Amino acid sequence: MLFNLNDLVRPNIAQLTPYSSARDEYSGEAKVFLDANENSLGSPLPKWYNRYPDPHQVAVKNKLAVVKGITAEHIFLGNGSDECIDLLYRSFCIPSKDNVIICPPTYGMYEVSAHINDIELKKIPLLPSFQLNLVEIEQAIDSNTKLIWICSPNNPTGNSINRIDIETILNNFKGIVIIDEAYINFSKQKSFVQELTEYPNLVVLQTFSKAWGLAGLRLGMAFASTAIIEVLNRVKPPYNINQSTQELALKALEEVGQVNDMIRLLVDMRDALADVFNLMPTVQEVYPSDANFLLVKIKDARKVYEFLLTKGIVLRDRSNVQLCNDCLRITVGSEHDNTILVEAMQDWYQLNS
Ligand SMILES: *Cc1c(COP(=O)(O)O)cnc(C)c1O
């Protein structure tokens, strides 16, 4: 396969002179910083919040590099993965000309972000096994296909996509393959992060929002070749990761052990919850999950959803989604959450049998 990143970058991005921030032009030690029109008197908050944050998030990336076993130059940080998704469109897809491939049912932002950027979507649904339809994906690719989005483990189905199939696409597609690994920490499957040197067309997305328990921080990661990372850095807003997020992420990265304990607990509770659901007469199928949620096919899904709402329990109703008829997506909660949910579902069964 001939992969040439220069053929993929939008010409206006390739020619762009990126914004040069005050912190870009001078980033060393100084006694007096009068280059960024900050308020040198301070702020109502403690510490250094009067100063702009590091536009390159060097400290966070260095620590993250150790945790991930890669070098910092392969890391891009976004205001959530959602910013990474948007930046990939803006960097590589020419509006109303280029197209991308998504494989529904999958994460909704690939589609919304494509519409916002006026990029054509080619939808190649997953097979009933929730695996990729390689034959149709191959047929859909044309000379304007820039990106293929693969979510593994997939949201909302919960399964991992077969590694061999992903490798087939990586080896044959001349555009960029994005593997969204938002749920990888809950999976027994290996991450693709270690394959960056193997595949120049690979982008791996991960996030602090799920296993790390930090959805409120808004911090997403993209891992890719240095060439792709450089493109994303040209396009991103200069200070896209705020000071408090950088500080708190550094702190969290010290606590890998605690996070791994939570992951183990969530996986155990997921499997226990699956066993309980499997015994419920109204449940038709509990799909195997590599994530921190279960996709459950249940009789009268919409009615169950509404009944649980009256009890103050909110699930994600996916019953109208292709291949997910009559399915609810259920996040694994705390022990307490899960108990309340199971009791309410038993109430529903009692009332309807
Ligand atoms: C939750 C989720 C994300 C996370 O997005 P953030 O913007 O980082 O919170 C990304 N991809 C998928 C598939 C998700 O389910």
CATH architecture of residue range(s) 5-16+53-254: 3-Layer(aba) Sandwich (3.40)
Closest residue by Cα to atom 13, ligand 1, is 107
Q: How far apart are CA 271 and CA 347, in angstroms?
A: 22
Buried-exposed string 175-204: b where 16+ CB fall within 10 A, e elsewhere: bbbbbbbbbbbbbebebbbebbeebbbbbb
Q: Which residues contact 93 (CB under 8 A, 6 or more apart)?
A: 10, 99, 100, 114, 117, 119, 146, 147
Longest pairwise C-alpha distance within the chain: 76
Q: How far is the CA of 269 from the centre of ligand 1 (A)?
A: 21
Q: Tokens 């921030």 label which residue?
A: 21
Provide the whole-model pTM. Answer: 0.97
Burial of 164 (0-12, 13-18, 19+ CB in 10 A): exposed
pLDDT digits (tens, 9 = 90+) for 169-226: 999 999 999 999 999 999 999 999 999 999 999 999 999 999 999 999 999 999 999 9
Q: How far is the CA of 50 from the centre of ligand 1 (A)?
A: 30
**Which atom of ligand 1 is nearest the CA belonging to 215?**
9
Given this model, what pLDDT does residue 290 score?
A: 98
Which residues, given as ranges, of the chain have pLDDT below 50? none
Given this model, what pLDDT does residue 104 score?
A: 98
Given this model, what pLDDT does residue 62 score?
A: 98
- In the chain, domain spans: 5-16+53-254, 257-352
The residue type found at 207 is T
* DSSP notation for 256-310: HHHHHHHHHHHHHHHHHHHHHHHT-TTEEEE---SSSEEEEEETTHHHHHHHHHH
Given this model, what pLDDT does residue 1 score?
A: 63
Closest residue by Cα to atom 5, ligand 1, is 81
Q: Tokens 């308020």 label which residue?
A: 39
**Which atom of ligand 1 is nearest the CA belonging to 106?**
13
Q: Please state the CATH superfamily assignment of the domain spanning residues 257-352 in this structure.
A: Aspartate Aminotransferase, domain 1 (3.90.1150.10)
Given this model, what pLDDT does residue 28 score?
A: 80
**Which atom of ligand 1 is nearest the CA belonging to 107?**
13
Given this model, what pLDDT does residue 30 score?
A: 84
Q: How far is the CA of 111 from the centre of ligand 1 (A)?
A: 13
pLDDT digits (tens, 9 = 90+) for 216-228: 999 999 999 999 9
